[in-house]
Amino acid sequence: MKKLKLIVILFFSILIISGCSCTSSMCSQEDLDAIKSGIETKWNSDEEYKVKLREQAIAENITDEAAINEYINQNIEKQIEAEYNSHPKACLTTEEMEDPISGATISKKNWGSAFKEGLLEGLIVFPISWLLITFTNLFGSTGLGKVLAIVITTIIIRTVMLLLTFKSQIQNQKLQSIQGEIAEISNKLKDPNLSQAEKNRLSMKVMDIYQKNGINPFSSLIPTLVSIPVFLSVWSAISQTLVIRTGTFLGLNLGEAVSSQVFNLNIAAIILFVIMTAGQVLSMKLPNIIRKRQANYKNKDQINKANKEMSMMTNIMLIMIIISGFLLPSALAIYWTIGALFSIIQTFIFQNPKVKEKLSNIGNRKKKAKVIQ
**Would you give per-residue pLDDT tens digits along the chain (373 residues)?**
445 445 555 554 544 444 444 445 778 889 899 999 999 999 998 899 998 988 888 888 888 888 888 999 999 999 999 998 888 888 888 888 888 888 888 888 888 888 887 777 888 888 999 999 999 989 988 889 999 999 999 999 999 888 877 777 676 666 666 666 766 677 766 767 777 777 777 777 777 777 776 666 666 666 666 777 787 888 888 888 888 877 788 888 888 888 888 898 889 989 999 998 888 888 887 877 776 676 554 455 555 555 555 566 667 777 877 887 788 888 888 988 998 899 888 888 877 777 666 666 655 544 444 444 4
Q: What is the C-alpha separation between 270 and 278, in angstroms, rounded?
A: 12
- Distance from C-alpha of 28 to C-alpha of 120, rounded to nearest angstrom: 17
Strand partners, 98: 105
Strands 105-106 and 97-98, how do they pair? antiparallel
151 occurs within a structural domain: yes
**Same domain for 140 and 97:** no
Both 94 and 118 in one domain: the answer is no
- Do residues 305 and 311 make contact, with C-beta atoms less than 8 angstroms apart? no
Do 56 and 182 belong to one domain? no
Final residue of a structural domain among 45, 74, 109: 109
Pair 210, 267 in one domain: yes
Same domain flag for 99 and 132:
no
H helix runs in 193-296, sequence order? 196-212, 221-240, 242-245, 258-263, 267-294
- Does one domain contain both 206 and 317? yes
Taking each helix axis from N to C end, the angle separating 65-86 and 47-59, rounded to the nearest 10 degrees, works out to 120
Is 342:154 a contact under the CB 8 Å cutoff?
yes
End-to-end alpha carbon distance in the chain: 26
Q: How far is CA 352 from CA 3, 20, 178, 182, 357, in A?
A: 30, 38, 16, 22, 9
Same domain? 227 vs 342:
yes
Cα 127 to Cα 82, 116, 134, 265, 281: the distances in Å are 32, 14, 10, 35, 29
Same domain, 175 and 319: yes
Residue 281 placed within a domain: yes
Q: How many Å separate Cα 243 from the centre of its chain?
A: 19
Would you say residue 10 lies in a domain?
no
Look at the alpha carbons of 314, 295, 342, 267 in this order and tell me if their dihedral is positive or negative: negative
Cβ neighbours of residue 204 closer than 8 Å, sequence gap 6 or more: 372
User: Do residues 65 and 149 both lie within one domain?
Assistant: no
52 located within any domain? yes
Q: How far apart are CA 92 and CA 183, in angstroms?
A: 50
Identify the domain containing residue 85 by its residue range.
22-109
Asked whether residue 16 is domain-assigned, the answer is: no
Q: Identify whether residues 179 and 62 lie together within a single domain.
A: no
E strand residue ranges, the chain:
97-98, 105-106, 248-249, 252-253
Out of 91, 109, 127, a domain closes at 109
Q: Enter the pTM of the model.
A: 0.73
In a domain? residue 170: yes
DSSP 22: S
Which is nearest to 227 in space by CA: 287, 162, 275, 151?
162
Amino acid at 46: D
Structural domains counted in the chain: 2
Looking at 77, 109, 141, which one is the last position of a domain? 109
Backbone φ, ψ for residue 97 (5° rounding): -145, 145
Residue 126 included in any domain: yes
Do 140 and 83 share a domain, yes or no? no
User: Is 9 among the domain residues?
Assistant: no
Residues 46 and 149 in one domain: no
